[in-house]
Amino acid sequence: MQHETPQALLDYAQSFAGFTLGELCARYKEQVPQQLLHKKGWVGQFLEMILGATSGSLAQPDFPELGVELKTLPIDEQGRPLESTYVSVVPLMNIQGLRWENSVVRHKLMHVLWIPIVASREIPIEDRQVAMPFLWQPTSEEEQALKQDFEDVLVQVSLGRIEQLDARLGDILQVRPKAANSKALTDAIGPDGATIKTLPRGFYLRPQFTKRCLQQQFG
DNA sequence: TCGTGATCATAA
DNA sequence: TTATGATCACGA
Protein backbone atom coordinates (compact mmCIF):
# COMPACT_ATOMS: atom_id res chain seq x y z
CA MET A 1 0.00 0.00 0.00
CA GLN A 2 1.59 3.24 -1.16
CA HIS A 3 -0.10 6.56 -0.62
CA GLU A 4 0.56 9.29 -3.18
CA THR A 5 -0.42 12.24 -1.05
CA PRO A 6 -1.17 13.03 2.59
CA GLN A 7 -4.82 13.42 1.57
CA ALA A 8 -4.89 9.93 0.09
CA LEU A 9 -3.37 8.58 3.27
CA LEU A 10 -5.95 10.49 5.31
CA ASP A 11 -8.80 9.13 3.19
CA TYR A 12 -7.54 5.62 3.76
CA ALA A 13 -7.07 6.15 7.49
CA GLN A 14 -10.60 7.56 7.78
CA SER A 15 -11.98 4.39 6.22
CA PHE A 16 -11.10 2.70 9.52
CA ALA A 17 -13.09 5.15 11.63
CA GLY A 18 -15.87 3.57 13.65
CA PHE A 19 -14.40 0.10 13.69
CA THR A 20 -13.17 -1.51 16.88
CA LEU A 21 -9.68 -2.89 17.25
CA GLY A 22 -11.26 -6.33 17.50
CA GLU A 23 -13.03 -5.93 14.16
CA LEU A 24 -9.86 -4.67 12.48
CA CYS A 25 -7.82 -7.48 13.97
CA ALA A 26 -10.28 -10.02 12.60
CA ARG A 27 -9.98 -8.45 9.17
CA TYR A 28 -6.18 -8.68 9.25
CA LYS A 29 -6.09 -12.00 11.10
CA GLU A 30 -4.24 -10.50 14.03
CA GLN A 31 -4.64 -11.43 17.68
CA VAL A 32 -5.94 -8.78 20.06
CA PRO A 33 -3.87 -8.62 23.26
CA GLN A 34 -5.98 -9.05 26.39
CA GLN A 35 -4.01 -6.28 28.08
CA LEU A 36 -1.40 -3.75 27.02
CA LEU A 37 0.88 -4.05 30.08
CA HIS A 38 3.30 -6.21 28.13
CA LYS A 39 2.27 -4.85 24.70
CA LYS A 40 2.36 -1.11 25.30
CA GLY A 41 3.13 -0.11 21.73
CA TRP A 42 0.77 -2.57 20.13
CA VAL A 43 -1.99 -0.18 19.08
CA GLY A 44 0.44 2.14 17.32
CA GLN A 45 2.27 -0.67 15.60
CA PHE A 46 -0.96 -2.32 14.47
CA LEU A 47 -2.15 0.93 12.91
CA GLU A 48 1.24 1.42 11.26
CA MET A 49 0.93 -2.03 9.76
CA ILE A 50 -2.55 -1.64 8.35
CA LEU A 51 -1.79 1.85 7.03
CA GLY A 52 1.44 0.77 5.37
CA ALA A 53 4.01 2.76 7.36
CA THR A 54 7.53 1.58 6.69
CA SER A 55 9.97 3.64 8.74
CA GLY A 56 10.31 1.03 11.46
CA SER A 57 12.44 2.43 14.27
CA LEU A 58 14.25 4.95 12.09
CA ALA A 59 14.37 8.48 13.47
CA GLN A 60 12.17 9.96 10.78
CA PRO A 61 8.46 10.37 9.98
CA ASP A 62 6.50 7.16 9.47
CA PHE A 63 5.75 8.08 5.86
CA PRO A 64 9.03 9.71 4.79
CA GLU A 65 7.96 10.29 1.19
CA LEU A 66 4.95 12.23 2.45
CA GLY A 67 6.67 13.81 5.43
CA VAL A 68 3.80 12.54 7.59
CA GLU A 69 4.12 11.15 11.09
CA LEU A 70 1.49 8.67 12.35
CA LYS A 71 0.38 8.97 15.96
CA THR A 72 -2.36 7.07 17.71
CA LEU A 73 -3.94 9.11 20.50
CA PRO A 74 -5.83 7.41 23.32
CA ILE A 75 -8.90 9.47 24.28
CA ASP A 76 -11.83 9.06 26.67
CA GLU A 77 -15.51 9.08 25.67
CA GLN A 78 -15.49 12.88 25.87
CA GLY A 79 -12.62 13.13 23.42
CA ARG A 80 -9.98 14.10 25.98
CA PRO A 81 -6.46 12.69 25.62
CA LEU A 82 -5.63 10.04 28.20
CA GLU A 83 -1.86 10.15 27.83
CA SER A 84 1.02 12.29 26.66
CA THR A 85 2.41 11.63 23.19
CA TYR A 86 5.97 10.46 22.70
CA VAL A 87 7.77 12.32 19.92
CA SER A 88 11.46 11.47 19.88
CA VAL A 89 14.60 10.93 21.90
CA VAL A 90 16.23 14.00 23.45
CA PRO A 91 19.71 14.40 21.90
CA LEU A 92 22.23 14.52 24.73
CA MET A 93 25.56 14.39 22.87
CA ASN A 94 27.09 16.14 19.84
CA ILE A 95 24.42 18.81 19.93
CA GLN A 96 26.62 21.68 18.84
CA GLY A 97 25.10 23.03 15.66
CA LEU A 98 21.83 21.20 16.23
CA ARG A 99 18.97 23.56 15.45
CA TRP A 100 15.21 23.33 15.61
CA GLU A 101 15.08 23.55 11.84
CA ASN A 102 16.92 20.27 11.35
CA SER A 103 15.68 18.44 14.44
CA VAL A 104 13.86 15.12 14.43
CA VAL A 105 11.17 16.68 16.62
CA ARG A 106 10.36 19.30 14.01
CA HIS A 107 10.47 16.89 11.09
CA LYS A 108 7.96 14.66 12.83
CA LEU A 109 5.65 17.36 14.14
CA MET A 110 5.38 19.44 10.97
CA HIS A 111 2.75 17.03 9.66
CA VAL A 112 0.97 14.49 11.83
CA LEU A 113 -1.77 12.01 11.04
CA TRP A 114 -3.58 11.69 14.36
CA ILE A 115 -5.63 8.58 14.91
CA PRO A 116 -7.70 8.99 18.07
CA ILE A 117 -8.77 5.76 19.76
CA VAL A 118 -11.48 5.65 22.43
CA ALA A 119 -9.35 3.83 24.94
CA SER A 120 -10.56 4.36 28.51
CA ARG A 121 -9.02 1.68 30.70
CA GLU A 122 -12.32 0.02 31.51
CA ILE A 123 -12.93 -0.69 27.80
CA PRO A 124 -11.53 -4.08 26.75
CA ILE A 125 -8.85 -3.68 24.10
CA GLU A 126 -10.92 -5.41 21.43
CA ASP A 127 -13.85 -3.05 22.03
CA ARG A 128 -11.82 0.14 21.71
CA GLN A 129 -13.04 2.14 18.72
CA VAL A 130 -11.07 4.09 16.15
CA ALA A 131 -12.38 7.66 16.11
CA MET A 132 -11.96 10.06 13.17
CA PRO A 133 -8.37 10.39 11.96
CA PHE A 134 -7.21 13.86 10.97
CA LEU A 135 -4.15 15.57 9.54
CA TRP A 136 -2.58 18.26 11.65
CA GLN A 137 0.10 20.86 11.03
CA PRO A 138 1.25 23.38 13.64
CA THR A 139 0.33 27.01 13.09
CA SER A 140 3.29 29.38 13.01
CA GLU A 141 2.47 30.29 16.61
CA GLU A 142 2.42 26.65 17.63
CA GLU A 143 5.69 26.01 15.87
CA GLN A 144 7.26 28.97 17.66
CA ALA A 145 6.10 27.56 21.00
CA LEU A 146 7.45 24.13 20.13
CA LYS A 147 10.74 25.65 19.01
CA GLN A 148 11.02 27.60 22.24
CA ASP A 149 10.48 24.50 24.38
CA PHE A 150 12.96 22.56 22.27
CA GLU A 151 15.63 25.25 22.50
CA ASP A 152 15.13 25.68 26.25
CA VAL A 153 15.86 21.99 26.69
CA LEU A 154 18.89 22.00 24.42
CA VAL A 155 20.41 24.96 26.26
CA GLN A 156 20.20 23.05 29.53
CA VAL A 157 21.58 19.90 27.95
CA SER A 158 24.50 21.75 26.35
CA LEU A 159 25.30 23.35 29.72
CA GLY A 160 25.57 19.91 31.30
CA ARG A 161 22.39 20.41 33.33
CA ILE A 162 20.47 17.33 32.18
CA GLU A 163 20.13 16.08 35.76
CA GLN A 164 18.49 19.36 36.76
CA LEU A 165 15.96 19.12 33.94
CA ASP A 166 12.58 17.51 34.66
CA ALA A 167 9.09 17.06 33.23
CA ARG A 168 7.89 20.42 34.54
CA LEU A 169 9.90 22.33 31.94
CA GLY A 170 8.21 23.15 28.65
CA ASP A 171 4.76 24.58 27.90
CA ILE A 172 3.95 22.01 25.19
CA LEU A 173 6.94 19.70 24.86
CA GLN A 174 8.14 18.09 28.05
CA VAL A 175 11.12 15.85 28.77
CA ARG A 176 10.60 12.56 30.56
CA PRO A 177 12.54 9.31 30.95
CA LYS A 178 12.44 7.07 27.93
CA ALA A 179 14.13 3.84 28.88
CA ALA A 180 13.70 0.18 29.67
CA ASN A 181 13.95 1.05 33.36
CA SER A 182 15.49 3.55 35.76
CA LYS A 183 18.89 1.83 35.57
CA ALA A 184 19.32 2.31 31.82
CA LEU A 185 22.16 4.69 31.06
CA THR A 186 23.37 6.67 28.08
CA ASP A 187 26.05 9.31 27.52
CA ALA A 188 25.40 12.98 28.20
CA ILE A 189 27.28 16.18 28.87
CA GLY A 190 28.15 16.61 32.54
CA PRO A 191 28.38 19.82 34.64
CA ASP A 192 32.11 20.15 33.96
CA GLY A 193 31.80 19.34 30.28
CA ALA A 194 32.99 15.77 30.61
CA THR A 195 30.86 12.83 29.50
CA ILE A 196 28.57 11.40 32.16
CA LYS A 197 26.03 8.59 32.23
CA THR A 198 22.37 9.46 32.57
CA LEU A 199 18.88 8.10 32.00
CA PRO A 200 17.80 8.37 28.36
CA ARG A 201 15.09 11.02 27.91
CA GLY A 202 12.37 11.62 25.38
CA PHE A 203 10.32 14.59 24.16
CA TYR A 204 6.60 14.21 24.84
CA LEU A 205 3.62 16.39 23.90
CA ARG A 206 1.54 17.32 26.95
CA PRO A 207 -2.07 16.07 26.89
CA GLN A 208 -3.29 19.66 27.24
CA PHE A 209 -1.71 20.43 23.90
CA THR A 210 -3.11 17.45 22.02
CA LYS A 211 -6.47 18.32 23.58
CA ARG A 212 -6.29 21.69 21.84
CA CYS A 213 -5.45 19.98 18.55
CA LEU A 214 -8.59 17.84 18.91
CA GLN A 215 -10.71 20.87 19.77
CA GLN A 216 -9.43 22.81 16.77
CA GLN A 217 -10.28 19.91 14.53
CA PHE A 218 -13.68 18.94 15.91
CA GLY A 219 -14.79 22.06 17.75
C1' DT B 1 -7.73 13.00 39.55
C1' DC B 2 -3.51 14.22 37.32
C1' DG B 3 1.25 14.64 36.30
C1' DT B 4 5.74 12.78 36.70
C1' DG B 5 8.77 9.23 36.63
C1' DA B 6 9.02 4.21 35.52
C1' DT B 7 8.35 0.63 32.61
C1' DC B 8 7.39 -2.94 28.59
C1' DA B 9 8.08 -4.97 23.68
C1' DT B 10 10.71 -5.16 19.57
C1' DA B 11 13.85 -4.23 15.53
C1' DA B 12 18.34 -3.24 13.83
C1' DT C 1 22.44 0.03 22.71
C1' DT C 2 19.32 3.15 20.60
C1' DA C 3 15.59 3.95 18.08
C1' DT C 4 10.64 3.02 17.51
C1' DG C 5 5.67 2.07 19.40
C1' DA C 6 3.56 3.70 23.84
C1' DT C 7 0.98 2.81 28.75
C1' DC C 8 1.60 1.90 33.64
C1' DA C 9 1.40 3.33 38.39
C1' DC C 10 2.37 5.90 42.38
C1' DG C 11 2.34 10.12 45.13
C1' DA C 12 0.65 14.84 45.72
The pLDDT value recorded for residue A55 is 75
- Give the E-state strand segments of A6-138 in sequence order: 69-75, 85-89, 112-118, 129-130, 134-136
Phi, psi torsion values for A136, nearest 5 degrees: -135, 140
pLDDT, mean of residues A68-73: 98
For residue A56, name the pLDDT band (cuts at 50, 70, 90): confident
pLDDT, mean of residues A175-194: 97
pLDDT at A90 over 70: yes
Please tell me whether any atom of strand C lies within 7 Å of the Cβ of A118: no
Dihedral sign, CA of A150, A156, A161, A165? Answer: negative
Q: Under a CB-based contact definition with an 8 Å cutoff, are residues A5 and A113 in contact?
A: no
Please give the protein residue whose CA is closest to the C1' of the nucleotide C3. Answer: A57
Please tell me whether any atom of strand C lies within 7 Å of the Cβ of A47: yes
Measured CA to C1', what is the nucleotide nearest A184? Answer: C1
pLDDT at A54 over 90: no
Q: Look at residue A219 and give its three-state secondary structure.
A: coil
Q: Look at residue A75 and give its three-state secondary structure.
A: strand
Query: Which of A174, A172, A215, A181 lies closest to A200, judged by CA?
Result: A181
CA of A74 to C1' of C10 (A): 21
Measured CA to C1', what is the nucleotide nearest A166? Answer: B4
Among chain A residues 176-205, those with CB within 7 Å of any atom of strand C: 176, 178, 180, 184-187, 200, 202
3-state secondary structure A174-217: EEEECCCCCCCCEEEECCCCCEEEECCEEEEECHHHHHHHHHHH
Burial label, A90 (beta-carbon count in 10 A; 0-12, 13-18, 19+): buried
pLDDT (tens digit, 9 = 90+) per residue, A114-132? 999 999 999 999 999 999 9
Residue A117: CB partners within 8 Å, gap ≥ 6?
A21, A43, A72, A73, A74, A75, A128, A129, A130, A131
CA angle at residue A40 from A34 to A42, to 5 degrees?
A: 75
The pLDDT value recorded for residue A1 is 64
Q: Which bases along strand C come within 7 Å of a protein CB atom?
A: 1-9
pLDDT at A133 over 80: yes
pLDDT, mean of residues A84-88: 98
Burial label, A55 (beta-carbon count in 10 A; 0-12, 13-18, 19+): middle
CA of A59 to C1' of C4 (A): 8
Measured CA to C1', what is the nucleotide nearest A177? Answer: B5
pLDDT, mean of residues A82-90: 98
pLDDT, mean of residues A46-55: 92
Phi, psi torsion values for A64, nearest 5 degrees: -60, -35
